[in-house]
Amino acid sequence: MVEGTEGPASEDNRTPQPFNLGLVNSARVYDYLLGGKDNREIDRDMADQMLSRAPEIKTLAWFTRSFMLKAVEMAAAAGIRQFLDLGSGIPSSPNVHEVAREIEPSARVVYVDYDPVVHAHCDALLTKPCGVTALLGDVRRPHDILDQLKNHTLIDFDEPVAITLISVLHYVMDDEHPAEIIAAFRDQLAPGSYLAISHGSVDSAPEVLQVIAGTKDTSAQVTFRSAAQTEAFLAGFELLEPGVVPVQQWLRPDLPDTRMVMLGGIGRKP
Ligand SMILES: C[S@@+](CC[C@H](N)C(=O)[O-])C[C@H]1O[C@@H](n2cnc3c(N)ncnc32)[C@H](O)[C@@H]1O
């Protein structure tokens, strides 16, 4: 089903390489689910297997995007003018800077992804407006990203920042210490900063969990976690209502449940 699934988990296979197109790739699977064109057959096969078990996953992808954009709106409405989108993905409109600048025209936005192809897309398509930047960076190396941000004075850490980590942390395995990664960013943030997270839930239907098990040893390998584990990632932030819940509950009360459950939570640094 997926090339490269044999052997022990390897960061090389799980870190996208520009010319290694034979492995399923999380950014391209997501692009396909969102209706984009920047994907390959191997990614579409994986996505189609997921869709055969839970066709509403395409809808869920849009609920999750909408959750992210709502978090950006909330932060911009609270006066935040700096946005850091970690694991930004292949560009899909509207994007963070478009939404933030509707509310706060001077908003500065940095898009970060570890996939060189995604980074090239972001650099080419998103960074035309002044104050919008794309960086190549791996969230598993937070200090490298923080150094890039500081050395190029892209973000003023004396002022609040809104960080979006949307559907990224489930690609970080437990032994890669996701809580420590978040703490490294959190410790730099000024009071009033926001952190929005979406994370795949262990409460997803078993048939969905079974398909994603086939992503082992690729950049799409995931570790889904519980609501309690996801909430723990927001330690040090005041959890905003309605808390860590399926993302659609952040949008409207009447949206349907999905067999794949994506949790969303937003915190504000006191
Ligand atoms: C499912 S997509 C989500 C994209 C975007 N956040 C959104 O919600 O539309 C996951 C993205 O996270 C990126 N990603 C995964 N692990 C990463 C890491 N360790 N560092 C940086 N980016 C990462 C992938 O390359 C991909 O673009």
Q: Which residue is closest in CA terms to ligand 1's atom 20? A: 138
* pLDDT per residue as tens, the chain (270 positions): 333 323 333 466 778 776 666 778 889 989 999 999 989 999 899 899 889 888 889 999 999 999 999 999 999 999 999 999 999 999 888 999 999 999 999 999 999 999 998 999 888 888 788 999 999 999 999 999 999 999 998 899 999 999 999 999 999 999 999 999 999 999 999 999 999 999 999 999 998 888 877 778 777 789 999 999 999 999 999 999 999 999 999 999 999 999 999 999 999 999
CA distances from 128 to 46, 88, 90, 124, 156 (A): 33, 16, 16, 8, 21
- Does residue 221 have its Cβ closer than 6 Å to ligand 1? no
The residue type found at 93 is S
Cα of 85 vs centre of ligand 1, distance in Å, is 9
CB 267 within 8 A of CB 238: yes
- Does residue 65 have its Cβ closer than 6 Å to ligand 1? yes
CA distances from 17 to 22, 115, 116, 117, 122 (A): 10, 7, 7, 8, 16
For ligand 1, mutation pick of 90, 135, 166, 168 (most atoms within 8 Å of CB)? 168
The model's pTM = 0.93
Cα of 61 vs centre of ligand 1, distance in Å, is 13
The residue type found at 14 is R
